[in-house]
Structure 1
Amino acid sequence: MTRSARLATAGLALGSALALAACSAGSTANPSGSAASGATGAAAAGSDAVGIGLVLEPVSLDFTKKDGAAIPQALLGNVYQNLVTLDESGTIVPQLAKSWTVSPDRKTYTFSLVDNATFSNGAKFTAADAVFSINQVKTSWTVGVKKAMDVVASAEAVSPTELKVTLTRPSNSWLYAMTTRVGAMFSTTGVADLATKPIGTGPYTMGTWKRGDSITLNRNDSYWGTKAHFATATLKYFKDATALNNALLTGTIDIIGTVQAPDSLAQFTSNPKYQVIEGTTNGEVVLSFNNSRAPLTDKRVRQAIRQSIDHKTLLDTCWSGKGTLIGSMVPPPTRGTRTSRR
């Protein structure tokens, strides 16, 4: 599992992923407690807008048909929400579900839903939308992650605020999968044009998309929860890490979502105008073999190469030590999920 670092002009804090509702410009001190000075970004100057620098731009806004991390990075938690989500410690916590129970045989999940959430098209969120969303994954999604819903035998709206999901067998991973794009809640009346007009229950709505440049999200003033701090959030896309870093240095943006070149951190850690916020991610960086070609067709050769690699030195060289050697294709958060029922 790698560690990710985010950069922000002093006075900004960024929550998990790119959940923009967690952004705030209310502080003027950096994490070490020393006073911040000369913050250059628009948000640090007290603006009602924030600019976030990213590298991967979506090719579409429909993550039910297009794979990759770019679409959920922009929309999940901001425009779309789930029944459950992950907090900063990796614990599964409520979102559109207030609480849930699991049957003794671990095959039936009963969710109690919030009763005041609405979609950005004005429709009220109910258990019927949750049933629709779960069934859509099984019947209409085309991306590989849809298999996470294969274990679901049925989803039933017991009442507008109670959802019952029955699995074919006990699963240690299904509830965790519901924190990802697979668990995004869609409106039964809002899926006509997911590629350009996403409709969700989140704190932001889709604004403008300047392809090749940026996506702007607008604060959802009808949001059922705590209103987002910023009225607008612009996700600005850059083709390379140097241009991304320079944009933060010159004040064009306020935050770098994830640092692409860890060895570039020094120019920010030594400057009191910036905060470097480190956290964990469940993304993996893999060094793999093409075992269809000799001599790598021989398992013994592959084993010998693997044993000869100094993995710690490789991590230090490629990622400036910003990572954890996991020795597996499965990152720790998905090996055994922690839950918090409320």
Structure 2
Amino acid sequence: MHKKMLLPFLMLLVIFTTACTAGTAGDEESKSSGGKSSKKNNVVIGIEADAATLLANTDVNYITDVQIRNIYDPLIKRNPETGGFEPALATEWKNIDEYTWEITLRKDVKFQNGDPFNAEAVKFNIDYILDKKNNSTYLSRWADIKEVKVIADDKVQIITSKPFPTMIARIADDLLIMDPGNVKKLGLEEAAKNPVGTGPYKVKEWVRDDHLTLIANDDYWKGKPSIKEATFRYIPEFSSRLSAFLSGEIDLFKNIPVDSLDNVKNNENSKVESIGSSRVNYLALNTLHKGPLQNQKVRQAINYAVDVDELLKTVLNGNGTKMTGPLSKINADYVETKDYGYNPDKAKELLKEAGYDPKDLKLTLDTPNGRYPMDSQVAQAIAAQLKRIGIDVKVQVNEWGNHLTKIQQRKAGDMFILGWGPTFDAQSTIQNLFMKDAPYSGFYDSEVEKAIQKAIPIFNQDKRKQAFGEIQQLLVDQAAWVPLWQQADLYAVNKNLDFKPKVDESMQVFDMGWK
């Protein structure tokens, strides 16, 4: 029997399409023959940026993850509609006690080069994360793993140094299985360019900052992929992705610019697919270097001065669900928290109490451009709102990779725009964004970290939710962020492509097909 520990949350799922007529965007043959061609066997996906690496278990970054999950398989996967746990390379799992988890593996699975998948491969990949010299940004999420034991060819035990109630979530959300033999033979640098997994697609060509092309693994353990070739084409700007889609150069992209939604709806070769994402977007208030943001009253003042309702209405055209704390309402551990609301007079009052004249405050705000819906426009709008109370904000627009690097290296400005997800439980967000050593943290408070460390090992679900609920309120009181919204994911899709968005935001080409 599986011990699945299904998360009790309600996913908000809205899927809508528009009526379309004949023709296939991106298919030259169908263009020339009035749409009466054979089905395509390739797909081109527009994406915001290049993968940081093609090595698994290295980069905590959606852009990397969404591409390499076509090359590698997880042990346990998420149900695309509920977020619950389902078998993949693992068939069963259970916790023997609070410190020991046992995973039973699928038999007769091979890597793309013919090497066998087994328990040694699982141990290798977890040990890879734990080895500090590999610089895996997953390490902080796995640091409580004490040992991985190979019990049999198809069975491993994971031993932890303290109770680890979210082990299955970590396995499902993080762990992908790369071939140990390939990594040992080529070394990390070459294996990052020539990866080998058990997944449905193999690397055909990777041209940095241009595209990644994958070809079908016809020996895939789940069957031959129907789409024989898939290309992720890197197009950083929203407007450029939209133009490429409307001209038929790409077949699919995520995050339609909300001010251009009608352009897709009204295109005869297109349809729109939508889903309420588990991703959260927020304005981080950086306390990791000296400056006014280390003052709690200044952070609270900024919360009062940012009008999230106005941003949702005027910049996002209503495509998002307002948040008041660090978690979205569809998170299993969500508790209702106080909304600061928009109160510029209160903001000025708090700044005065903190010893600041708003006109003397000159802050910086880092933002990506084209990673999240209207991200740089949101940043400019926030700067304009803060200007209303006298705060001067310089917006620094970054290429996505540089944006992440600045945050990781603690070189981001006083504030920065970031999103986090997909996330289904409190620990996945709170541990990774509010602890001092977490790679994408922008906030640290010793009392908050103590509370997080105390909550992490709690196995009892009710007590665990209560503990993380108290932390959520503490973070709101501390004004660690300006919470913005739960993201609404809007996909532009070729009308003949069978694609349905998933709550985990994955783009599994194996699940796609052409009509």
Q: Could you say whether these structures have the same fold, taking a TM-score greater than 0.5 normalized by the shorter chain as the test?
A: yes
Distance in structure 2 (CA, Å) of the matches to 1:40 and 1:141: 42
Conserved? CA contact 1:80–1:202, under 8 Å: yes
Structure 2 residue aligned with 1:24 = none
Q: Which runs of 5+ in 1 are unaligned?
A: 6-29
Question: Aligned match of 1:319 in 306, 316, 331?
Answer: 316
Distance in structure 2 (CA, Å) of the matches to 1:223 and 1:126: 16
- The alpha-carbon deviation at position 67 of structure 1 amounts to 5.3
Distance in structure 1 (CA, Å) of the matches to 2:67 and 2:110: 20
Conserved? CA contact 2:56–2:68, under 8 Å: no
Say whether 1:307 aligns with 2:304.
yes
Flag the structure with higher helix content: 2
Q: Summarize the alignment of residues 62-211 of structure 1 with structure 2, pairs less than 5 Å apart.
A: 62-66=55-59, 68-76=61-69, 78-88=70-80, 89-103=82-96, 105-139=97-131, 140-180=133-173, 182-191=174-183, 192=186, 193-211=190-208
Distance in structure 1 (CA, Å) of the matches to 2:119 and 2:130: 17
Distance in structure 2 (CA, Å) of the matches to 1:208 and 1:116: 28
SS for the counterpart of 1:218 is strand
- The alpha-carbon deviation at position 280 of structure 1 amounts to 4.1
- The alpha-carbon deviation at position 303 of structure 1 amounts to 1.0
Distance in structure 2 (CA, Å) of the matches to 1:86 and 1:42: 32
RMSD of aligned residue pairs (Cα, Å): 3.0
User: Which aligned segments of 4 or more residues in structure 1 are displaced greater than 4 angstroms?
Assistant: 30-36, 63-67, 290-295
**AA aligned opposite 1:38:** G
SS for the counterpart of 1:189 is helix
**AA aligned opposite 1:317:** T
Distance in structure 2 (CA, Å) of the matches to 1:286 and 1:190: 39
Say whether 1:38 aligns with 2:34.
no
Structure 1 residue aligned with 2:210 = 213
Conserved? CA contact 1:153–1:168, under 8 Å: yes
Distance in structure 2 (CA, Å) of the matches to 1:124 and 1:220: 15
Structure 1, 145-154 or 216-225: larger mean CA deviation: 145-154
- The alpha-carbon deviation at position 48 of structure 1 amounts to 0.8
SS for the counterpart of 1:222 is coil
Conserved? CA contact 1:152–1:168, under 8 Å: yes
Say whether 1:277 aligns with 2:269.
no
Structure 2 residue aligned with 1:10 = none
Conserved? CA contact 2:25–2:270, under 8 Å: no
- Deviations for 1:207-259, whole angstroms, at most 9, x for unmatched residues? 11122321100000111113222000011111311111111111111111x12
SS for the counterpart of 2:182 is coil
- The alpha-carbon deviation at position 62 of structure 1 amounts to 3.0
- Deviations for 1:169-205, whole angstroms, at most 9, x for unmatched residues? 222333212123x411122201123220111000001
Structure 1 residue aligned with 2:43 = 50
Structure 2 residue aligned with 1:254 = 251
Conserved? CA contact 1:42–1:254, under 8 Å: no
Structure 2 residue aligned with 1:15 = none
Structure 1 residue aligned with 2:285 = 289
Q: Summarize the alignment of residues 222-261 of structure 1 with structure 2, pairs less than 5 Å apart.
A: 222-256=219-253, 258-259=254-255, 261=257
TM-score by length of 2: 0.55
Conserved? CA contact 1:148–1:174, under 8 Å: no
- The alpha-carbon deviation at position 295 of structure 1 amounts to 4.4
- The alpha-carbon deviation at position 59 of structure 1 amounts to 4.2
Structure 2 residue aligned with 1:264 = 260
Q: 1:51 to 1:242 in 2, by over 3 A?
A: same
Number of residues of Structure 1 aligned to a counterpart in Structure 2 = 309
Q: 1:63 to 1:229 in 2, by over 3 A?
A: same
**AA aligned opposite 1:262:** V
Q: 1:55 to 1:72 in 2, by over 3 A?
A: same
Conserved? CA contact 2:58–2:137, under 8 Å: no
Q: 1:265 to 1:217 in 2, by over 3 A?
A: same
Distance in structure 2 (CA, Å) of the matches to 1:157 and 1:59: 31
Rg comparison, structure with higher value: 2
Q: 1:137 to 1:102 in 2, by over 3 A?
A: same
SS for the counterpart of 2:116 is coil
Q: 1:321 to 1:177 in 2, by over 3 A?
A: farther
Q: 1:294 to 1:33 in 2, by over 3 A?
A: closer
Distance in structure 1 (CA, Å) of the matches to 2:103 and 2:175: 13
TM-score by length of 1: 0.80
Q: 1:216 to 1:334 in 2, by over 3 A?
A: same
Distance in structure 1 (CA, Å) of the matches to 2:162 and 2:284: 33
Q: 1:274 to 1:172 in 2, by over 3 A?
A: farther
Q: 1:270 to 1:206 in 2, by over 3 A?
A: same
- The alpha-carbon deviation at position 272 of structure 1 amounts to 4.8
Distance in structure 1 (CA, Å) of the matches to 2:234 and 2:23: 25
SS for the counterpart of 1:144 is coil
SS for the counterpart of 2:191 is coil
Distance in structure 2 (CA, Å) of the matches to 1:169 and 1:293: 34
